[in-house]
Amino acid sequence: MKSDENSGAFIFRNGRVLDPSREFDRVADVLVLDGRIAEVNAGLDLGSDISARVRAIDASGKWIVPGLIDMHVHLREPGEEYKETIASGTAAAVAGGFTGVACMPNTHPVNDCAAITQFILERAKYHGSCRVFPVAAISRNLEGNNLAEYGELRDAGAVAVSDDGRPVTNALLMRRALEYAQTFDLLVIAHSEDPSLSGGGLMNEGEVSTRLGLRGIPNAAEEVMIARDLLLAELTGGRLHIAHVSTAGSVELIRAAKARGLSVTAETAPHYFTLTDDLISGFDPVYKVNPPIRSSRDIAAIKQGLADGTLDVIASDHAPHSVVEKDLEFEFAANGMIGLESSLPLILELVREGVLSPLQAIAKMSSNPASILKIPFGTLRSGAPADITVIDPDVEYVLDVNRFRSKSRNCPFHGRPARGRAIMTLVGGEVAFSE
């Protein structure tokens, strides 16, 4: 992270402070000193010494929340810097309200050894705008044959392992990953897809795919793998997190596993509760993503899963692609959508719909990902690093991809009327983004 002249001491006055780490939802003041949260309380009396050195910000009508954490992001560096870099991706992150992102290992080369993890952290230190938490590969080169060296990856700074972008098809390798990861207390993040069911598929299997004549990916392609991995988590006692949940059946499987007491967590992405597969009728590849956008029945189940806590986290699965891979016939276009700069307003839609309370919504973007990744953020407790997002929940605007910091433009929400966004993002007490 850059150190700059914006670092200092702040007092945010009269904001709605939402701190899910302690179920706190009240109008209060937040005092930041020396890069840490000093105190949160109503009507803080600072005394003349402190008053003289703090910058006072009137936050009335705004939300003050723990810095948002996106635990599923593709930063594309090393190797595909024309799509995104650690600099551009983290600039997009702070503009979207995120103070930390976990970055997936499907880079070139793959993040499957300490040197790459260290490289990512070095680049983030000097060129990043927010904290970066590298996710390393489950298997060497994401090939699904041999486990990577989890000990050295953990020592280098990896917070989890995942072959995201590809499933681990070999059940024994997944079993060993869940066992081996426990030695280093690493989370295993599953990309749940059975390629024998999804292979060749371009979109959700259903009425729309039949009408369009595009090969479909059935819900079962995801659910079969989730069922397998839940059984393996039970067998091994490993810490399993299911990435990008898209189907009603997946929500049901995870709900049942949690009821059995399994230590499993799960995430979904905004496109899985916002977009349905009928949007593909115009063959616009901006809607192509893996897993695919599904049906309204799935959306209803995802929302229910978010509301009842089956789905712990909302992560963007920010997957930048350039026009070279994306602006092609639907069949040939790459999978993925960018999300860092559109996530927050889409999640606020769920709050206005009454699906989530403000505290629940913020938990799924801060305290929950922090506790799942076991990182000391996602809280406004006194003494914690001053990672803070200030949100204007009411500002109305139109999402405009041309104003995004991301290098890529593959956003299906361009032109969508939105309400609410981050207006200030503080990382370790420094202003990383401000409107």
All residues at 6 or more sequence positions from 48 whose CB lies less than 8 Å from its CB, including other chains:
none
State which of residues 85, 88, 290, 425 lies at the interface with ligand DOR (CB under 6 A).
Answer: 290
The residue among 9 and 269 lying less far from ligand DOR, judged by its C-beta, is 269
Does 408 interact with ligand DOR (rule: CB under 6 A)? no
Considering the rule CB under 6 A, would residue 106 count as an interface residue with ligand DOR? yes
Should residue 277 be labelled a site residue for ligand DOR when binding is judged by CB under 6 A? no
Joined together, the tokens standing for residue 362 give 């913020």
Give the one residue of 336, 345, 378, 420 binding ligand DOR; rule: CB under 6 A.
336
Q: Does 15 bind ligand DOR (CB under 6 A)?
A: no
Contact 149, 108 (CB under 8 A): no
User: Rounded to an integer, what distance in angstroms lies between the CA atom of residue 39 and that of residue 17?
Assistant: 12
Long-range contacts of residues 85-88, Cβ cutoff 8 Å, at least 24 apart:
85/123, 85/127, 85/407, 86/120, 86/123, 86/124, 86/127, 86/128, 86/132, 87/123, 87/127, 87/128, 87/129, 88/405, 88/406, 88/407
Q: Are 143 and 169 in contact (CB under 8 A)?
A: no
Is 335 a binder of ligand DOR (CB under 6 A)? yes
Q: Which residues are catalytic?
A: 317
* Distance of alpha carbon 318 from alpha carbon 40, whole angstroms: 33
Tell me if 412 contacts ligand DOR by CB under 6 A: no
Please, which residue, 74 or 421, has the CB nearer to ligand DOR?
74
303: contact with ligand DOR by CB under 6 A: no
Applying CB under 6 A, among 176, 191, 294, 364 the residue interacting with ligand DOR is 191
Task: State the nearest-atom distance from the C-beta of 72 to ligand DOR, in Å.
Answer: 9
Query: In terms of CB distance, is 1 or 245 closer to ligand DOR?
Result: 245
Measured torsion, CA atoms of residues 236, 242, 245, 249, in degrees rounded to the nearest 10: 10
Min dist. Cβ of residue 3 to ligand DOR (A): 31
**What backbone phi and psi angles, to 5 degrees, belong to 60?**
-65, 140
- Closest contact distance (angstroms) between CB of 151 and ligand DOR is 26
Q: Which is nearer to ligand DOR, 75 or 257 (CB)?
A: 75
For 73, the enclosing helix (H) or strand (E) is strand 68-73
Burial 384-415 (b: 16+ CB within 10 A, else e): bbbbbbbbbbeeeeebebeebbbbbbbbbbbe
**Min CB(175)–ligand DOR separation in Å:** 22
Secondary structure of residue 148 in the 3-state scheme: coil
Q: Does 164 bind ligand DOR (CB under 6 A)?
A: yes
Contact flag: residue 100 with ligand DOR (CB under 6 A): no
Name the burial class of residue 141, with classes exposed (0-12), middle (13-18) and buried (19+) by CB atoms within 10 angstroms of its CB: middle
Residue 193 CB, nearest distance to ligand DOR (Å)? 8
Could you say which of 30, 319, 346, 362 contacts ligand DOR (CB under 6 A)?
A: 319
Q: Which of 74, 228, 239, 318 binds ligand DOR (CB under 6 A)?
A: 74
Q: Does 204 interact with ligand DOR (rule: CB under 6 A)? A: no
Q: Which is nearer to ligand DOR, 90 or 316 (CB)?
A: 316
Residues 6+ positions from 72 with CB-CB distance below 8 Å: 102, 104, 164, 189, 243, 244, 267, 269, 315, 316, 317, 318
89 binds ligand DOR (CB under 6 A): no
271 near ligand DOR, rule: CB under 6 A: no
**Interface with ligand DOR includes 165 (CB under 6 A)?**
yes
Identity of the residue, 322 or 357, whose beta carbon is nearer to ligand DOR in the bound complex: 322
Q: Which residues make up the interface to ligand DOR (CB under 6 A)?
A: 74, 106, 164-165, 191, 289-290, 319, 335-336
